[in-house]
Structure 1
Amino acid sequence: MSGTVPDRGATSTAGSGQEGLAPWSTGPYADALRNGHGPLFLRRTDGWLLPLDVERWCAEADAADLSALRRCEGPVLDIGCGPGRLVAELASRGHRALGIDVSAAAVAHTLRIGGSALHRSVFDPLPGEGRWGTVLLIDGNIGIGGDPHGLLLRTADLLAPGGLLIAETSPLDIDERVQVRLYDGRLAPEGAGEEDRAAPGGELFPWARIGTPALLRYAQPNAWRAVDQWVADGRPFLALRRTRRVRTPSQNADTANNDAVISSQFPRNTSGESPLAGL
């Protein structure tokens, strides 16, 4: 469902709901976003590197991104929006869309390019819980927190009944939970130990990499139904729909009462602090 373009000048700050997400707030990630390019990696404790595609994140939405955005329904929440290319593209198409990110640099970039964003973790209290039409987990963000099962439960809290989750998965058939740190490829100073090679921003945090088969395994027992699956420019995507509402401990009475509000009946109250108050 398309709607009015949100107030793009609004923002807010809040602490991360998980301490492990703090490394994204400063250091190499913020520097890469300011510069518009890497190198930037997730580095496992054994030294293995996963390149992060900062240049693509800082560019306009590409054909693969658009293949996901065309499937969006109702107001859209982009979890881990980064520099905001998806939120800005949705806004330009008339969708009500909000990005959230634990990086202040990412939120600032999103606002500059015409998107709406809040400085929040997905595990913080968020506006419109239980009323979002679509939630996006793109660019590997299914790995946030290193717990795909827990992230799926949290996503279910955020979506309206029958809402849509669009996730980008790993091109590999993998289900991996690891401790990683952000690494910008700089060599350690003379005489420095191995741990210093990842500084600054070198704190370890949990991350997950899962392919489509693994995500389907997590989804089925939790009342998710796969409604679409595709690959665009080598990037695999999966669309899941919540088939029934399963009450989780993080839902309060107000969220539960919102379950009866379908996407075509979102209230238009604009008195709240959120840039999309009332959805």
Structure 2
Amino acid sequence: MSYRWMKWTILFLPTVTIGLWEYVRHQLLMPYLSMEAGNWLSPVIVYIVSVTLLRRMFTMMEHTQSALDQERMAKGKLQERQLLAGELHDGVAQSLFLLGVKLDQARRRFDDPEVQKMLNDISRTVSEANHDVRQSIANLKYSPRQEDIGATSLEYRIGEMIPLAGVKAELDWQLDEGLLRPDEQAELLACIREALLNIHKHAGARHVTISGSEQDGEWQVTVQDDGKGYDERALNDPGTFGLRITAERAELRGWTFALRREEGWTRFILTGGSRHG
């Protein structure tokens, strides 16, 4: 039922109800029902019909309004993300590109091997920073809607992110996605993306495994690699922005985040559910 029909039904239903009641009362019930009793029954009947039929319509209208409010909020957030992406592109990304051009010019001007090595290292760092900024711009420009999240499984979307690790990766996904709301799924995907990017940039790994499992309402997601590794102390390193953001995301959601080095594997672990929410 459309919003317009709901409004007209709410306006006319009490009138139609009382009209029908008065017709039936005067044509059929006058010999059996006194005028006083009929007058008392009129508001009662209108109330019963209103509660029975209109209450459902009010609920539908509330749901419709709630959906509109959520859509409006999502649109506002998307506009903010687009604005931020534009500022990053016009500011940081352009500056990094120009810095890369200047470094290339400097490499052609200096023949000293030490200077060349230093410039190459700087150029590599600038290139990585430029890649990260452009990845951030792409992420900001794409804000998955809840209906999109629900239409594609977590396992499928994680499988699409596997190339970010830069090495062969296996996916063992046994997690019931019903344990996570759409917004929590989006946060979990962002955390897994950060883990895979860290493996690609820092770990030097040959194998990666992503697993998701649940037991008794508690779920756990683990991203592990056989690279050179890092431990929980890395979270205190001022340069590990991604890991610290992941830890903050987990804390805000009531999840547990752990980073461990065990038996030659680095394990990036997120745990949540009934005992963590």
Structure-1-length-normalised TM-score: 0.25
Larger helix proportion, structure 1 or 2? 2
Identify, as 1 or 2, the structure richer in strand: 1
Bigger Rg, which one = 2
Structure of greater relative contact order (alpha carbons < 8 Å, 6+ residues apart): 1
